[in-house]
Structure 1
Amino acid sequence: MADPAGAATPQRQSRRFLVLYALAVAGGAIAYVPLLTILLPVRVETLAGADSVRWLAILAFGGATVASLANILFGWLSDRTRNRRGWIVAGLVLSSVLLVMLAVPRDLPALVGLLLAWQVALNMMLGPLSAWAGDAVPDAQKGTLGGLLAFAPALGGLSGALVTIPGLASADNRLVLVAGLVVACVAPVLLFGNPARFPELMRPAPRTVTGSARRMLVARMWLARLLVQVAEAALFAYLYLWLRSIAPGITDSTTARIFGLVLLVSVPAALLTGRWADRHDRPIVPLGLAAGLAAIALAIMAAAPGLAMALAGYALFGLGASVFLSLHSAQTLRVLPRPQSRGRDLGLFNLTNTVPSLIMPGLTLALVPVFGFAGLFVLLAGLAGLASLLLLTARN
Structure 2
Amino acid sequence: MADDSAGFAENRWGPQRQSTRFLLLYALAVAGGAIAYVPLLTILLPVHVEGLAGTASVGWLATLAFTGAIASSLSNIAFGWLSDRSGTRRPWIWAGLVLSSTLLLAMSAPRDLATLVALVMAWQVALNMMLGPLGAWAGDAVPDRQKGTLGGLLAFAPALGALSGTLVTIPGLALPEERLALVAGMVMACVLPVLLLGRPAPFPELMEPAPRPASGSARQMLVARMWLARLLVQVAEAALFAYLYLWLRSIAPGTTDAATARIFGVVLLVSVPVALMVGRWADRRDRPIQPLGVAAAVAALALGVMAAAPGLEVALAGYALFGLGASVFLALHTAQTLRVLPRPKSRGRDLGLFNLTNTVPSLIMPGLTLAMVPVFGFSGLFALLAVLASVACLLLLTAKAALQRDN
For residue 90 of structure 1, what is the aligned residue in structure 2? 95
Partners of 1:132 and 1:301 in 2: how far apart? 38
For residue 286 of structure 2, what is the aligned residue in structure 1? 281
For residue 358 of structure 2, what is the aligned residue in structure 1? 353
Cα distance per residue 1:160-185 (max 9 Å; x no partner): 00001111111111101100100100
Q: Give 1:198-277 correspondences, 5 Å limit.
A: 198-277=203-282
| Matched positions, count | 396
Q: Shift in Å at residue 301 of structure 1?
A: 0.3
Partners of 1:57 and 1:170 in 2: how far apart? 26
Instruction: Give the gaps of 5 or more residues in structure 1.
Output: none
Q: Shift in Å at residue 112 of structure 1?
A: 1.1
For residue 305 of structure 2, what is the aligned residue in structure 1? 300
Determine if contact 1:136/1:201 at 8 Å carries over to the other structure.
Answer: yes
Determine if contact 2:8/2:15 at 8 Å carries over to the other structure.
Answer: no
Determine if contact 2:8/2:201 at 8 Å carries over to the other structure.
Answer: no
Tell me, what secondary structure is at the counterpart of 2:185? Answer: helix
Of 1, 4, 8, 2:7 maps to: 4
Of 125, 128, 146, 1:123 maps to: 128
Of 42, 47, 61, 1:56 maps to: 61
For residue 195 of structure 1, what is the aligned residue in structure 2? 200
**Root-mean-square deviation (Å):** 1.0
Q: Give 1:17-166 correspondences, 5 Å limit.
A: 17-166=22-171
Determine if contact 2:9/2:17 at 8 Å carries over to the other structure.
Answer: no
Change (3 A) 1:138 1:250: same
Aligned residue type for 2:120: L
Partners of 1:5 and 1:133 in 2: how far apart? 16
TM score, norm. by length of structure 2: 0.96
Determine if contact 1:7/1:15 at 8 Å carries over to the other structure.
Answer: no
Cα distance per residue 1:238-284 (max 9 Å; x no partner): 00000011111111111111100000000000000000000000000
Aligned residue type for 2:268: L
Aligned residue type for 2:5: A
Of 311, 336, 343, 2:348 maps to: 343
TM score, norm. by length of structure 1: 0.99
Determine if contact 1:3/1:14 at 8 Å carries over to the other structure.
Answer: no
Of 101-110 and 83-92, deviating more is: 101-110
Q: Shift in Å at residue 3 of structure 1?
A: 3.2
Tell me, what secondary structure is at the counterpart of 1:375? Answer: helix
For residue 318 of structure 2, what is the aligned residue in structure 1? 313
Determine if contact 1:7/1:14 at 8 Å carries over to the other structure.
Answer: no
Aligned residue type for 2:156: F
Q: Shift in Å at residue 152 of structure 1?
A: 0.1
User: Do structure 1's residue 14 and structure 2's residue 14 form an aligned pair?
Assistant: no
Q: Shift in Å at residue 116 of structure 1?
A: 0.6
Q: Shift in Å at residue 2 of structure 1?
A: 3.0
Partners of 2:75 and 2:223 in 1: how far apart? 22
Q: Shift in Å at residue 7 of structure 1?
A: 8.1
Partners of 1:95 and 1:7 in 2: how far apart? 37
Of 340-349 and 248-257, deviating more is: 248-257
Of 249-258 and 64-73, deviating more is: 249-258
For residue 367 of structure 1, what is the aligned residue in structure 2? 372
Q: Shift in Å at residue 106 of structure 1?
A: 2.2
Q: Shift in Å at residue 4 of structure 1?
A: 2.9
Determine if contact 2:233/2:392 at 8 Å carries over to the other structure.
Answer: yes
